Amino acid sequence: MSSDSTTVAVNDVLEGEMDSSQVPVIDLNSSEYFFNRELSHLQFNARVLNQVMDTSHPLLMRLMFSCIFSSNMDEFFEIRVAGLKQQIKYGRETVGADGMSPAQTLQHIAEQAHKLVEQQYSELNDLMIPALEQENIFFLRRADWTPTQRDWVAQYFERELLPVINPIGLDPSHPFPRLVNKSLNFIVELDGKDAFGRETGMAIVPAPRSLPRLVRLPDEVCEGGDNLIFLSSVIHAHADDLFPGMTVKGMYQFRITRNADLVLEEDDMEDLAQALRGELLSRRFGDAVRLEVADNCPEELVQFLLQEFGLTETECYRVAGPVNLTRLLAVNDFVNRPDLQYPGFTPGLPKEMRHKENLFEVVAKQDILLLHPFQSFTPVIDLLRQAAKDPNVLAIRQTLYRSGSQSEIVAALVDAARRGKEVTAVIELRARFDEAENLELASRLQEAGVIVVYGVVGFKTHAKMILIVRREEGQLRRYVHLGTGNYHASNARLYTDYSLLTAENALCEDVHRIFLQLTGMGKALKIRKLFHAPFTLHDKLLGLISREAENAKAGKEAYILAKFNALTEPKVITALYEASQAGVRIDLLIRGICCLRPGVPGVSENIQVRSVVGRFLEHTRAFYFHNHGKHEVYASSADWMVRNLLNRVETCFPIERKELAERIKSELDAYLRDNSNAWLLQPDGSYERKAIEEGEERFNAQNFLLTQLASV
């Protein structure tokens, strides 16, 4: 039955025309009510790319959005596309709640991804490069180099490239080389014979990975402005020098993307760190999943590459420019143009923390809530620094997911251990693409005397927790930090996240028990206030949604407002549908993936989903439940995804101080008011930019929070 006929039937019951036994039962688990996870992920990348066209962003920030899109797409192919291909390869295909097979999903991905990549290069060539030239920022093509610039490039090639570049002729004794994931390479057409009389006609030139992909020409060889050239142009210009005595008929860029997901056989594992080190070596040479090649490359060479990598035509992306636009991030290193960037700001501090030296005294009096980057991450670092130096602090325990081995957080832990305190770090070695850095971090902490554990095999430790034990007036008191983001100071300037600093006994005891579970063995301990994945968070979340539904059925006011990064868990989606059917109004602020279909009559007409993409990466996870006037607010390290709720160690913590709970609610409301950076999810799966209504003023939630919380 169609959704329209279902709505008619429901309305007939409400109007007394049909008894409830005649109302068709809607199967909320039907695939028609679920969007495909991977295609929803692509929709998010499309929203990122659309920021390039948004002139409300400064020009260099628009260029950065194009780079971010490239980086996102790289990871999408390395992990998500690679995973689908692996399912097909090994005959382990699974169909998700959306009912789409891996093969069908890959087909739709190819169709959409090709359009997005074409859009990206069109925007770069037709919009961004001309706009940058208007600001005297030039990407100089070889044909436009002056004689003086050619001489400088020749010297640069002789000095920097020639000693390290390694062209590889292809013949029976020189098979096709094993090329590193995402490396820049060239396929070369040759004519003539070499010194040994070989006439292969083809060679591969890997670009040296040690050299920058973007080079700034010195001002003395230019006529003003910032003049940049690509390393690929330098190599192209001197291709003949790489093959002396032979004729280079053509030279074309290409790049291969490989499966970069790590597979650890955890059942047979004895040492996680050792196993991970072994797997990291293989990441660079996983199965090929995508070929990017210059669009002027002859078709026979493209087909040769596809055959060599075992790829099909749909997995080939012919691009009108450099094959790795992520490298354009380096523009910020070469160009000093603050007028083309967002203005700087100083993150704010709550009034309770201003001019206070002893942070333990501040937190002992009341809970402190920080919203980064609008408010400073420094108090979290300073609390650890004080703990390291304070003779009354006996122990520190902390989870580390992404922090950086050289961060201030790590330096404080090292200092504390060297001062003789009991310091324990739960390091998640499997934080994707940070594995090598986390292995280095573990070694550094162990050398300083920190007790390092790697969490629980089979469950990534994604919770963000610090526990500090301090002796005060002859008794032990605990202080805790709980966060929605990572312990990475640089990320705290770019990602929106909440931090809670508290000394509340029950919460501190809960955190203490979770650490005991992570570092030791035994049955799950009873947790009083925190919701704790993989044990209680999923059920508690379903219970909170169900309670709102029961309140609505009883004629009570019911409302859910939640902000997180992704929604994929089918039972949670079904619970939200049931709440919507009961009359609960639901607003979801979801930055990225959303598998829930909003606005379906009789199913989800009370649910609205919006995504905000702006200057900062939205990363906060905060949930509000009306609870018939007894409002409850939570913040969490977990998204509403299968992996977070069922397969990871996560925390969800209540915000109990009334003014802090009200503050989070008002900050979430600000995002509902946003008509500058907000996108509304439509019932067909597309996103539409939130339009400014006639007579309505422009409102940007991130700018509003900057004015409210930061020192702009």
Helix spans in 99-251 (H): 102-123, 129-134, 147-156, 231-237, 239-242
| Residue 533, CA distances (Å) to 458, 481, 508, 536, 588 in order | 13, 18, 17, 6, 21
Is 438 within any annotated ligand binding site? no
Listed in sequence order, the residues at least 6 apart from 193 whose beta carbon sits closer than 8 Å to its beta carbon are 199, 246
Is 337 within any annotated ligand binding site? no
Nearest alpha carbon to residue 3 among 596, 602, 577, 608: 602
Take residue 225 and report the two structure tokens written for it.
Answer: 């402005």
List strand residue ranges (DSSP E) for 334-392, in order. 368-372
Query: Which of the residues 57, 462, 488, 532 is marked catalytic?
Result: 462
Respond yes or no: is residue 174 known to be catalytic. no
- Do 559 and 629 contact (CB within 8 A), yes or no? no
User: What is the rounded distance in angstroms from the CA atom of residue 376 to the CA atom of residue 499?
Assistant: 10
| Residue 193, CA distances (Å) to 169, 358, 376 in order | 11, 76, 64
Question: Strand pairing partners for 395?
Answer: 422, 469
Neighbours of 353 (CB within 10 A): 19
User: What is the rounded distance in angstroms from the CA atom of residue 585 to the CA atom of residue 556?
Assistant: 12
Rounded to 5°, the CA angle 380-382-384 comes to 75
Is 491 within any annotated ligand binding site? no
Is 591 within any annotated ligand binding site? yes
The two counts, helices (H) then strands (E), for the chain are 22, 27
User: What is the rounded distance in angstroms from the CA atom of residue 215 to the CA atom of residue 497?
Assistant: 35
User: What is the rounded distance in angstroms from the CA atom of residue 453 to the CA atom of residue 519?
Assistant: 7
Length of the chain: 712
Nearest alpha carbon to residue 381 among 490, 225, 507, 540: 490
Handedness of CA 650, 655, 660, 662 (dihedral sign): positive
Nearest alpha carbon to residue 402 among 564, 562, 619, 210: 619
- Do 484 and 634 contact (CB within 8 A), yes or no? no
For the chain, the straight-line distance linking the first and the last C-alpha, in angstroms and rounded, comes to 55
Nearest alpha carbon to residue 453 among 509, 521, 510, 385: 521
Helix spans in 554-692 (H): 570-582, 642-646, 658-673
User: What is the rounded distance in angstroms from the CA atom of residue 482 to the CA atom of residue 479?
Assistant: 10
Is 512 within any annotated ligand binding site? no
Helix (H, G, I), strand (E, B) or coil at 188: strand
Helix spans in 533-637 (H): 537-553, 570-582
Q: Cis link prior to 373 (omega < 30° from 0)?
A: yes
Is 150 within any annotated ligand binding site? no
User: What is the rounded distance in angstroms from the CA atom of residue 633 to the CA atom of residue 665?
Assistant: 8
Helix (H, G, I), strand (E, B) or coil at 123: helix
Listed in sequence order, the residues at least 6 apart from 597 whose beta carbon sits closer than 8 Å to its beta carbon are 32, 33, 34, 35, 603, 604, 683, 685
Cα 449 to the center of its chain, rounded Å: 32
Binding residues for ATP: 72, 495, 591, 619
Binding residues: 72, 402, 432, 495, 591, 619
The catalytic site residues sit at: 462
